[in-house]
Amino acid sequence: MYAYDEIDQTLVDERVAEFRDQVQRRLSGELTEDEFKPLRLMNGVYLQLHAYMFRVAIPYGTLSSAQLRKLAHVARKYDRGYGHFTTRQNIQFNWIALKDLPDALADLAEVGIHAMQTSGNCTRNVTADQWGGVAPDEVEDPRVWAEILRQHTALHPEFSFLPRKFKFAITASDHDRAAIKVHDIGLRLIRNEQGETGFEVLVGGGLGRSPFIGKSIKPFVRGRDILSYVEAILRVYNQYGRRDNIYKARIKILVHELGIEKFAAEVEQAWQEVAEGPLTLDDEMIEDIRSRFVYPAYEKLPAMPDELRAAAGDARFEAWRRNSVAPHREPGYAIVTLSLKPVGGPPGDATADQIDAIADLADKYSFGEIRVGHEQNLALPHVARRDLPALWAALDALGVATPNVNLVSDIIACPGLDYCSLANARSIPIAQELTRRFANHETANLIGRLHVNISGCINACGHHHVGHIGILGVEKNDQEFYQITIGGRADEDARVGDLIGPAVPYAEVADVVEDIVEAYLALREKPEELFVDTVKRIGVEPFKERVYATR
C-alpha cells in the first residue's frame, strides 16, 4: 500500500470544504444547474436518469481494508446499499442525494479517498495493472510510476481544462492487464539493454464513437524523463486539440488527423523545451515515492501446502482455484480474483455487506489490501496458498466465488439505460441473461477464455469495441437494437472488433451470442485455440453466416 502524507490529506480535506460550499450555494439557488455543472463534474458528480451519480477514484486500483469499509459505509448510509465498480478503477454510487454529497466526501476523506478528476475535461484517475507489485512477470511495480503521475497531474492548472477528458494507463509486463492501447497515453514499463528502466510510450488510443488503438510514439523514454515527456504530449494536445467539436476533441482524433510521425515531431519539439528542466525526476524523488509503497512481511511458505493437497479432492474448490488463483512473485502466495459476476447479477456491483465482508477477509488473508481491476472484478493480492481453501469457502458464502473469471459469463458492462442519461439501450439485463445461458461451468470451461463486453451507447463505457464479442446498444424507431462485433481484444495484441452484420433486436441478443459461440466450437482447430484466434484465422464470414442464416 502507498502511505499518504500530510500534503495529500490537506488537499483532500480542503477539497471537501470547497465542494460543501458549492453544494450549499446550489441548494439555496445561488447557483443555477448550469453554473453548478462544471463544479460538480470536477468532483465526480453526474446528473443521471434518476439521481446524481457519484464517481470515486481508486488510484491504480489499490485499496486498504479501511478504505473499502468506508466505501461500504457510503453505499449503506447515502445510497441504496451497493456500489458499482467500473472499467477505470473507480466506484460509482447511483442514487446519492445532492445534499448528502459533501458528507459522503468528508467521510471518504477520513481514509484518504476522494473524487477529484473522476470527470470533466482533465487528466482522469491514473490506472495500472491491478496485480502491480505482486505479478511475477513484471519489470517492477507500475504503481510507483502511476503515483508519480497522479501527484503531478492532480489539479494541474494547465491540464484541468483540456479539450476533452484524458486517461493514462500503465503496465509493467509483456502481457498487458491494464488495456494501455485503448487509453490516451499508454505506458509500458520496460528495461533497455543497459538495464535502465523506462517506458515505451503509446498515444492516441481510445474507444467511444471513433475507436483507435494507441500508436507507439517513442520506444524508450527513461524513467527520469517520463514527466517531461508526457507533459510535452499534453501541451501539444492542449494547443492543437479541437474545442469546437466534442466528437473530435480527443487526442486520438488529433493523432489520427496529423499522423503519428507529425504528431511525434511536434511532441519532440515541445519536449526539448522542458527536457532536463524541473520536471526531470532525480533518483532521490523516485526512491521517496517507491519507499512509500509498503509491502507485507511475507513468510517462507511451501508452494503446495498440506491444506491445498487436502482440498484438491473437492471439485468445486478445484474449479474455482484453476479459474481464480494466479501465481504470485513470492513462493507460497497467490493472487485471488473475486468475481463480481454472479449468475443473474449486474456486472461489477457489490452490496455494502459484501464490501464489508471482503474487507474483513482482506485483513484475515491478504494483509488488509484489495485491488480493483478494469474487468470490474476485485482481487486479494497477498493470499498464502495454505489459506486458499478457507478463503474460498468464505468467498463462496459471500457470492463472490463464481468460477467464471475470464470465461464467457465474466462480462464487462456499463450501467446502460437502467441508469445512464446518455444510453440508448439496456446493458445489465443482456449481461444477466447471458450469465444464465452460460451458467454451466463445464460448458463455459469447454468454451475457454472469451470476453463479452456490452455498452449501452456509442460512448463505449463497457469497452465493447475490444470485447472478444462486443455488444453495442443502439436505438431504432424508439426500440433497442444491438450491433455485434467479434475479434476485438484489449491486451498487448489489442484490436477493434469487426461488425458481423445488421443490428438485432433486444430479444435476440442472447441467441445470437449463443450462435456465435456454437459456431466457434465447431470451427476451432483444437480446444486450445481461443475464440479470438479462431476469428483471426478464419475471419467474420463463417460467424455471420451462422448468425444470419435464419434471421
Tell me how far apart the alpha carbons of residues 486 and 500 are, in angstroms, rounded to a whole number.
Answer: 7
Residue 3 has pLDDT above 90, yes or no: no
Helices (H), 88-218: 101-109, 142-153
For strand 349-351 and strand 82-85, is the pairing parallel, antiparallel, or unpaired?
antiparallel
CA distances from 437 to 235, 322, 443, 472 (A): 49, 22, 10, 19
The cell numbers describing 121, all together, are 475535461
Q: Which of 524, 525, 464 is nearest to 500 (CA)?
A: 464
pLDDT-derived band at 127, boundaries 50, 70, 90: very high
Flag whether pLDDT at 521 surpasses 90: yes
Instruction: Report the distance separating Cα 455 and Cα 413, nearest Å.
Output: 6
Q: Is the dihedral of CA 91, 94, 96, 97 positive or negative?
A: positive
Instruction: Assess whether pLDDT exceeds 90 at residue 1.
Output: no
The answer to whether the CB of 546 falls within 8 A of the CB of 506 is no
Pick the closest to residue 127 from 295, 374, 399 (CA basis).
374
How is residue 244 written as a grid cell? 469546437
Q: Which residues pair with 322 in a beta bridge?
A: none
DSSP SS3 for 63: strand
Q: How far is CA 117 from CA 51, 138, 144, 211, in A?
A: 20, 28, 20, 23
Q: What is the pLDDT of residue 413?
A: 97
Task: Tell me the C-alpha distance between 319 and 444, whole Å.
Answer: 11
Task: Tell me what the pLDDT averaged over the chain comes to.
Answer: 96
Residue 4 binned pLDDT confidence (cut-offs 50, 70, 90): confident
pTM: 0.95
pLDDT reported for residue 457: 96
The three grid cell numbers given for residue 47, joined into one nine-digit string: 446528473
Q: Are 93 and 107 in contact (CB under 8 A)?
A: no
Q: What distance in Å separates the CA atoms of residue 379 and residue 191, rounded to the nearest whole number?
A: 27
Output the nine-digit C-alpha cell for 306: 498440506
The predicted model gives 449-459 an average pLDDT of: 97
What is the band of 550 on the pLDDT scale with cuts at 50, 70, 90? confident
DSSP structure class, residue 2: B
Task: Provide the Cα torsion 211, 228, 62, 95; round to 10°.
Answer: -60
Residue 8's pLDDT is what?
87
Q: Residue 144 — pLDDT band, cuts 50, 70, 90? A: very high
Residue range 15-29: average pLDDT?
A: 96
Angle at 369 (CA atoms; ends 365, 373), nearest 5 degrees = 115
Mean pLDDT, range 459-473, rounded to an integer = 97
In the chain, the amino acid numbered 462 is G
CB-CB neighbours of 104 under 10 Å: 23
The DSSP result for 461-514, as a single string, is TT-GGGSSEEEEEEEETTEEEEEEEES-B-STT-BPPEE-SS-EEGGGHHHHHH
Q: What is the pLDDT of residues 154-171, one digit of tens each?
A: 999 888 899 999 999 999
SS3 194: coil
CA distance 96 to 84: 13
Checking if the pLDDT of 209 tops 90, the result is: yes
